[in-house]
Amino acid sequence: MSKSKIIITGGCGYIGSHTAVALQQAGFEVVIIDNLINSQENVLTRISEITGFKPQFEKVDCTNPISMKDIFAKNNDAVGVIHFAALKAVGESVAQPIKYYKNNINSLLNVLESMIEFKIPNLVFSSSACVYGEPEKLPVTEQTPLQPATSPYGATKVMGENIIKDTIRAHPELNATLLRYFNPIGAHPSGKIGELPNGIPNNLMPYITQTAAGIRDKLSIFGNDYSTPDGYCIRDYIDVNDVADAHIAAIQYMIKNKPGIETFNLGTGRGLSVIELIKAFESANNIKLNYIIAERRPGDVPELWANANLANQKLGWKAKRSLEDTLKSAWQWQKNVSDLK
């Protein structure tokens, strides 16, 4: 029997590469489209070392409608598309909004047009917890009202969700699952793939591991005077492999149920403060981190964590990796990357 085929845009990136591995291990055939603007082609070799299969790879920019149609025409037997490709640096999006709107919105429009033209019925879209802004009540459920985006990057996620909703309404033959990721961290247990930020990391976890590795002198904690129990910001940190698994559950759910549109939070349901995460990292890896308390970072919400019960009820998915294992995998990956340099 031939394998069901999934097209993954942005499949060489952090979450996409873990999802490609999980899909191949679940018996799917994977086609990756990536322009490598924030990733490297050698990820494909790593994927094949883990799974035994090298995915089909198309080095293409998703904003190019002609190339996208060519690839979709060649792969019109695909059962679904997972659309990860996007630019994701919040600060850069404030400085260069047009670059972000052009890349993230045009890529999505091309994916949708090609899906319609070549009758590929199922889409998974990478959305983000940032669509909730600063919510009035925690944890957030999928029913929690969305707040205006605080950055052009966030706006591309809110717009992306709306574009997909309108498209599904007009094309009942399509299904889509909007996955709102909370804070994905960690790496594959093989140590072969993980997060590879360009330059100085924006996110907390790679900053922690780079500080532990001596690449950065010290970690700056952005504020300890928030109105949270210990004064530090709270987030829902989820293992990237758990996030990857949810994509398979979403694809299988759409194939089976043809649900139209569904939205799910992908979190653990556990809020951790910045200092709690740092202490957990230190204790999981037996490391002492050098950190200082710095000014608040503009745009940070004090606290955000998920109620992820809906994904459990409908998809049968829940986050299952332990925080300790996740933090060990993050450190193992950092050491592997440092050894490569």
Total chain residues near ligand UDP (CB under 6 A): 14
Beta carbons within 10 angstroms of residue 199's beta carbon: 6
**156 touches ligand UDP by CB under 6 A:** no
Residue with smallest beta-carbon separation from ligand NAD? 13
- Binding partner selected for residue 122 from ligand UDP, ligand NAD, none, CB under the kind-specific 5 to 8 Å limit: none
- C-alpha to C-alpha distance for 113 and 100, rounded to whole angstroms: 20
| Residue 86 engages ligand NAD in binding (rule: CB under 6 A) | yes
Instruction: Tell me which of 75, 93, 107, 209 binds ligand NAD, using CB under 6 A.
Output: 107
181 counts as catalytic: no
Closest by CA position to 126, among listed 268, 15, 276, 277: 15
Single out the catalytic residue among 14, 132, 153, 253.
Answer: 153
By CB under 6 A, tell whether 62 contacts ligand NAD.
Answer: yes
Report yes or no: 281 and 288 within 8 Å, Cβ to Cβ. Answer: no
Among 23, 78, 221, 323, binds ligand UDP (CB under 6 A): 221
Beta carbon of residue 1, minimum distance to ligand NAD (angstroms, whole number): 31
Site for ligand NAD in 123-152 (CB under 6 A): 126, 128
Q: At 122, which helix (H) or strand (E)?
A: strand 122-128
> Which of 226/317 has CB closer to ligand UDP?
226
Please tell me the distance from the alpha carbon of residue 240 to that of residue 184, in angstroms, as a whole number: 5
Smallest CA-to-CA distance from 82 within 147, 202, 179, 162 is with 179
d(CA 146, CA 165) in angstroms, rounded, equals: 15
Residue 282 contact, options ligand UDP, ligand NAD, none, Cβ 5-8 Å cut-off depending on partner type: none
The catalytic residue positions are 153
